[in-house]
Structure formats: structure tokens, C-alpha cells
Amino acid sequence: MSVSRIELGSPRPTRRRRLGHRFDVTAHLVRTELATRHRGSLLGWLWALVPTLAQLVATYFLFTRVIPLDVPDYPVFLLVGILAWQWFTRSLGEGVGSLEQRRELALRPGFALELVPATSVLVALVDYLLALPVLVVALAVTNGLQPESVLLPLLLAIQLVYCVGLVLALAPLQVFVRDVRQIVALLVTVGFWITPVFYGVRQVPDSFVWVYRLNPMAHLIGAQREILIEGTWPEPGPLLVVALVGLAFLGAGWLLFRRLRDSVPEHL
């Protein structure tokens, strides 16, 4: 027998190597997802942007010409809301069905299954980041870039925590009860109207404001508008609570995922 060209065993899976490997898997899944989605289309990755801009134009027309809302800096106000909300809805929309979609990964021994729903959130985040230059230019030409904008990564991180927590819980549930996707789609549709995406909490009558205080996305979008458009620091108290609740979501999502993970393969 000739001397083997293959060496036995990849290096011992130290903790560091495992983390690095997970990073590679995630990066590769995100990359191939992005690569296959737009390959062969004329506009390519611009398709991540076009629906956002179309929605922006239509909504802008509706709430300035048809039902004027009288919000200052409405184009950027609207863009901030739509971008954040779209990241949220795309994360859920793709993430909930992701385990069914990537069945072959769920049936691979030793695969870190949680990376599949997490990938959906990250792909939606890349869409968000691709649209970010448009927002930056829009902010620059309207009322200038505010120094408070440096807080944006923190707000995005909090939203990431919420998205990942939710899809970790919902993706395995969807495998067991196939109604979850429809229920989520319904809640997201309703959520669009009861979250200040195209309007602000200031437009809401006082007696209903408490509803908005319970909505983390309302806090996050509001805070984004404060730092990006108004140039004011958001109140740290509520934001801290939102962040802590987000971590609780993530923890609960992770626990539920771990509980259900072992039964996922036999239900696919």
C-alpha cells in the first residue's frame, strides 16, 4: 500500500478551533446564500435594495400627498424605519422556515444546527448593510450626519439579539407544527401597522402610548431616529431594559432550541 496522502483526523477540536470553525461555517453559508440568490440576474445584489426603495417611494407619496402626516425630514425618517423593519421581517421570514429549507444540513451528524436560523438573520443583516450607504447619503444631504450616529452599531446589536432569539425558538417549532410560519407572517403584517415604521410615537394618542412602550422594535426604531436624524442621545434607562429583555429572549430561544434540536431530524 502506498504511503497515504491523507492524514488522519483534523486537528483536535479545541475550543478555539471549534469557534473558528463555526465562524467559517457561518461565513460560508451567508456567502453562498448571497451568491446563489442573485446569480444570473441582471441587477444582482441591487435586488436587495430595489424593494426597499420602491416601498419608500410609495409610502412617501402616501403620507405626504394623500394623508399628510406632517413629520419633519420625512424621507430619512421613513428610510430609517423601513430599513430596520425590513431587516426584522426578512430575518423572521427566512429564519422560521430555514430548518425545513436546509434539511440536508439538519440531517448532517455533528452540524451545529443553530447556525442555520442564525444565517437567515445575518443574510438579512447584509441586505441592511448594503442599503446603509443610501441612508448615509440621504442623511448627509438632508440635515447632515450627527455625531450621535456612533451609537448605531449598538442599536443594531440589540436588534440582532432579538432576531436571533426569535428565530432560534421559531425555526424548530415550525418543524413540529407547520402553522408557525403563517402565524408569524400574520403577526409581522399586523406588527408593521402597530410599530412606528412610517409614523412616529409622537403621532400616537397618549392613551395608547403604553402599547408602544411594550414594543422593543418601537424603542429601537425610535432610538435610531433620535441618533441619526435629531442628533440627541436616547434615554439610557428604557434602552437598557430593551437590551436586557432582548438577552432574555436570546436565552429563552437558545434553551428552546436545545430542547427541540434532538427531535428535529426525525420530523424532517
Residues that bind another protein (CB under 8 A): 1, 4-10, 13, 17, 20-21, 24-25, 27-28, 32, 35-36, 39-40, 104-105, 107-111, 175-179, 262-263, 265-267
Residue 100 beta carbon to another protein: minimum distance, rounded to whole angstroms = 9
For residue 225, the SS3 value is helix
Whole-number Å distance between alpha carbons of 161 and 159 = 5
Q: Cell numbers of 235, please?
A: 434615554
Residue 267 beta carbon to another protein: minimum distance, rounded to whole angstroms = 6
Whole-number Å distance between alpha carbons of 163 and 156 = 10
Query: Which of 61/176 has CB closer to another protein?
Result: 176
Long-range contact list for 58-66, CB < 8 A, 24+ apart?
59/198, 63/198, 63/199
Residue 189 beta carbon to another protein: minimum distance, rounded to whole angstroms = 18
Query: Which of 21/213 has CB closer to another protein?
Result: 21
Cell numbers 469557534 correspond to: 19
DSSP H or E run through 152: helix 152-176
Whole-number Å distance between alpha carbons of 236 and 241 = 9
Q: Cell numbers of 55, please?
A: 416601498
Residue 129 beta carbon to another protein: minimum distance, rounded to whole angstroms = 21
Query: Which of 47/233 has CB closer to another protein?
Result: 47
Look at the chain and count its residues: 268
Query: Which of 4/207 has CB closer to another protein?
Result: 4
For residue 43, the SS3 value is coil
Residue 184 beta carbon to another protein: minimum distance, rounded to whole angstroms = 13
How remote is the C-alpha of 14 from its chain's centroid?
A: 31
Query: Which of 39/65 has CB closer to another protein?
Result: 39
CA distances from 233 to 147, 210, 229 (A): 10, 21, 11
Residue 4 beta carbon to another protein: minimum distance, rounded to whole angstroms = 4
Query: Which of 12/65 has CB closer to another protein?
Result: 12
